[in-house]
């Protein structure tokens, strides 16, 4: 048996990604990061805002920013169901950066769920499009 499994990233409007991969790292609500390898036991989880890495069978890594959703693993197939997701290559870094700064600015004043969500979204976007540290260096 090959060590590849099927991975699908599905949003309500379209199938964002579909392909063979060897490993998927994502983050569940309250559970922290979790990695799925080939032959993982059936798993169902709710996803947090996160930067999901899909290690493709050909050695490349597909970065996806996932803004909440679900993951189902069964029969060597990983389905990421999400309300909203963006592939790393499609993210507008400058916009995400601005959103992050705006959210951080508001965080100083008040702490509510909405601002926090906005900040986590921005973090997920930035991480998926090239890492937070790289951004900080680029921004200054």
Partner 1 sequence: MAGGQERILRGRIRSVQATKKITRAMELIAASRIVKAQQRVQAAVPYSEQITEVVRDLAAAGASSDSPLLTGRDTIQNVCYVAITADRGLCGGYNSGVLRAAEGEIKADVQAGRGYVVVPVGRKAEGYFRFRGYSLEKGFAGFSDQPGYANAKEIGEHVVKLYASGAVDKVVLVYTRFITAGSQEVVLRPLVPLEREVVQGGDGKPGTDGAGADYEYEPDPSAILDTLLPRYVEARIYAALLNAAASEHAFRQRAMKSATDNAEELIKSLSRIMNRARQDAITTEIMEIVGGAEALSGDSKTTHLIDLGPIGDDELFASVHNGL
Residue 91 CB partners (closer than 8 Å, separation 6+): 65, 125, 128, 129
Sign of the torsion angle spanned by Cα atoms 100, 102, 103, 104: positive
Interface with partner 1 by CB under 8 A: which range of 13-21, 50-58, 101-109, 122-130?
A: 13-21
Instruction: Based on the shown chain and the rule CB under 8 A, indicate whether residue 14 belongs to the binding site for partner 1.
Output: yes
* Separation of alpha carbons 69 and 10, rounded Å: 10
Instruction: Based on the shown chain and the rule CB under 8 A, indicate whether residue 42 belongs to the binding site for partner 1.
Output: yes
Q: Extract the tokens encoding 132.
A: 């937070």
The least distance separating partner 1 from the CB of residue 93, rounded to whole angstroms, comes to 23
Residue 93: exposure state from Cβ atoms within 10 A (0-12, 13-18, ≥19):
middle
Per CB under 8 A, the list member of 33, 58, 83, 90 interacting with partner 1 is 83
Instruction: Based on the shown chain and the rule CB under 8 A, indicate whether residue 136 belongs to the binding site for partner 1.
Output: no
* Separation of alpha carbons 51 and 41, rounded Å: 22
The least distance separating partner 1 from the CB of residue 38, rounded to whole angstroms, comes to 10
Instruction: Based on the shown chain and the rule CB under 8 A, indicate whether residue 133 belongs to the binding site for partner 1.
Output: no
Instruction: Based on the shown chain and the rule CB under 8 A, indicate whether residue 72 belongs to the binding site for partner 1.
Output: yes
The least distance separating partner 1 from the CB of residue 69, rounded to whole angstroms, comes to 8
Instruction: Based on the shown chain and the rule CB under 8 A, indicate whether residue 113 belongs to the binding site for partner 1.
Output: no
Q: Extract the tokens encoding 11.
A: 């949003």
34/56 with CB nearer partner 1: 34
């Amino acid at each position: 048996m090959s060590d590849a499994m099927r991975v699908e990233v599905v949003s309500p409007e379209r199938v964002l990604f579909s392909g063979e991969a060897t490993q998927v790292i994502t983050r569940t609500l309250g559970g922290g990061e979790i990695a799925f390898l080939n032959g993982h036991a059936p798993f169902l989880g709710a996803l947090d805002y996160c930067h999901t890495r899909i290690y493709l069978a050909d050695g490349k890594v597909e970065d996806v920013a996932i803004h909440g959703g679900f993951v189902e693993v069964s029969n060597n197939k990983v389905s990421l169901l999400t309300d909203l997701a963006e592939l790393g290559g499609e993210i507008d870094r400058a916009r995400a950066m601005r959103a992050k700064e705006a959210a951080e600015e508001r965080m100083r004043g008040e702490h509510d769920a909405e601002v926090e969500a906005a900040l986590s979204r921005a973090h997920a976007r930035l991480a998926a499009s090239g890492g937070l540290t790289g951004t900080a260096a680029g921004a200054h």
